[in-house]
Amino acid sequence: MRFLDNYPREVKVFLIASLINATGSSLMWPLVTMYVFDELGRSMTDAGFVILIQSLGGILGQLLGGSLYHKVGVNRLIVGSLAVNALTLFALPAASANWTAFIVTMGLMGLFNALSMPAIQAFVGFRFASQRAQLFNIIYVANNIGVAVGTALSGFLADISYMLSFVLNGATSAVFAAFFFVYLRRVGGSSGPIPADARRGPSRQESNWKLMLNTRIYLFMALGSLFLLIGNSIWNTGVSPFIISEGLPKKYYGFLWTLNGVLIFAAQPLVSLIRRRFAAEPASQMTASAIFYLLGYVVILTVPSYGGMLCAMILTTLGEMLISPAQPAFISEHAGRNAPFYLGLSGGIGAVGRVLGPLFMGSLFDEGGLAPTAWLACAMAVLSVGFFVINAYGIRRRPAAEEPAA
């Protein structure tokens, strides 16, 4: 933790709280399909429908979370959404007795879990404006530690009780809500500190519809993310069934994600070097990210073997490491006080890719195996590169008359 010595104590506490919350959240997501199929005795089609409803709730949550930041206030928005998310998780045991109630509860869980995401990102961008780019990266790494720990624990907990995983997830969400309740009361202000550079931008009287017209801030970046997420579905609905159909041990698929987790920590110096030498700005980091994803998919297409997939995972993980902190940093830098709205809007648009990707990839794999899914992933990455280039060019060429007043 010595790399955190230059940050205030409140940052370290925030990271610990984020890690605990990420650990709890990751206890559940690997088990939803297993729970619906195994414990509830439903079909895999039903399990996929539940995931779809949860994903749609998440998209709506991101959109609402960004637009409500200044209207509701960061205290009530973050604490309230996390607290209600905890309640939905605690309600799952009772809701499981009725299929309709279970579906509704899962949708609400997706909604309230996502509701806090743009608010938390905006709060970090406002409060730590001078260090936000580095902090978004550190938070990303901390969350991945939580995901690694939670995913590893989920299987053991499922052997004991599925509901134990759900309740522990609810408990960590409640702890995160309590942390923010105490923390935000201590730092003061109902909407969080907004430094001078974050006060720039469109006036607070502008409606959400009018803010949406300022497409240079969010649209091309969001479309780039959408296509990137469609392509990234190849890992779940292309690579995974390919490994099974080739007769390889299922643990080989797990090894790919183990490699992903190891690289997120071990490859930080390499990614830092890429940022310093080739992609100093968030906009260029997103473009570089899409290029790494494209290279990874090209490897899957041209070397359809397990060795090729290991190489592809290395390349796409580098892309993931570049884009995950770059997007909130970009919005925080260019959107001023309206960053929460644009974080939610761009996040919601991008998340559509997570819904569409498995549908497209699954049908292509059923028809032709791995090759057509790899072609689609490559095409999506090319589109993503194009939109990220447009995004970077549009920001650099922004006329002086459009620049927000300080």
Residue 83 CB partners (closer than 8 Å, separation 6+)? 173, 174, 177
pLDDT of 220 reads 93
Cα–Cα distances in Å, from 230 out to 237, 266, 361? 11, 27, 8
Write down the pLDDT at residue 89.
Answer: 87
Residue 406 in any domain: the answer is no
Give the structural domain span for 120: 9-188
The owner of tokens 């060795």 is 307
The mean pLDDT value of the chain amounts to 81
Q: Is the same domain home to 77 and 165?
A: yes
> How many structural domains compose the chain?
2
Same domain, yes or no, for 181 and 33? Answer: yes
In a domain, 3, yes or no: no
What's the DSSP call for residue 402?
A: G
Q: How is residue 2 written in tokens?
A: 């010595």
**pLDDT tens figures, 102-111:** 999 989 988 9
C-alpha torsion sign, points 298, 292, 339, 171: positive
Structure confidence by residue, pLDDT tens digits, 192-207 = 444 444 434 444 446 7
Measured between alpha carbons, how far is 215 from 394 in angstroms, rounded to an integer?
10
Q: In whole angstroms, what is the distance from residue 235 CA to residue 359 CA?
A: 13
Looking at per-residue pLDDT, the higher value among 305 and 184 belongs to 305
Residues 22 and 97 in one domain: yes
Phi-psi region of 8 (alpha: psi -120 to 50; beta: other; left: phi over 0): beta
130-155 pLDDT per residue, tens = 777 777 888 888 777 777 777 667 66
The answer to whether residues 173 and 294 belong to one domain is: no
CA atoms within 13 A on the CB side of 154: 22
The whole-angstrom separation of Cα 200 and Cα 338 is: 9
How many other CB atoms are found less than 10 A from the CB of residue 203?
Answer: 11
Question: Per-residue pLDDT averaged across 294-320, rounded?
Answer: 94
Gyration radius from the chain CA atoms: 21
Same domain for 294 and 164, yes or no, is no
Residues 224-255 have pLDDT tens digits of: 999 999 999 888 788 888 887 888 887 787 78
Measure the CA–CA gap between 383 and 287, rounded to whole angstroms. Answer: 11
183, 217: one domain: no
146 and 239 housed in the same domain: no
State the amino acid at position 17 in one-letter form. A
Same domain, 142 and 220: no
The whole-model pTM stands at 0.79
Helices 282-302 and 306-334: angle between axes, nearest 10 degrees: 160
Highest-confidence range of 13-17, 53-57, 68-72, 284-288, by mean pLDDT? Answer: 284-288
Mean pLDDT for 280-304 is: 94
Q: Residue 333: which CATH number?
A: 1.20.1250.20
Place of tokens 């902090």: 135
Q: Could you report the per-residue pLDDT of 325-337, keeping only the tens digit for each? A: 899 889 988 888 8
Q: Does residue 348 contact residue 63 with C-beta atoms inside 8 Å?
A: yes
CB 105 within 8 A of CB 95: yes
Residue 166 and residue 46 share a domain: yes
Q: Tens digit of pLDDT for each residue in 299-311? A: 999 999 999 999 9
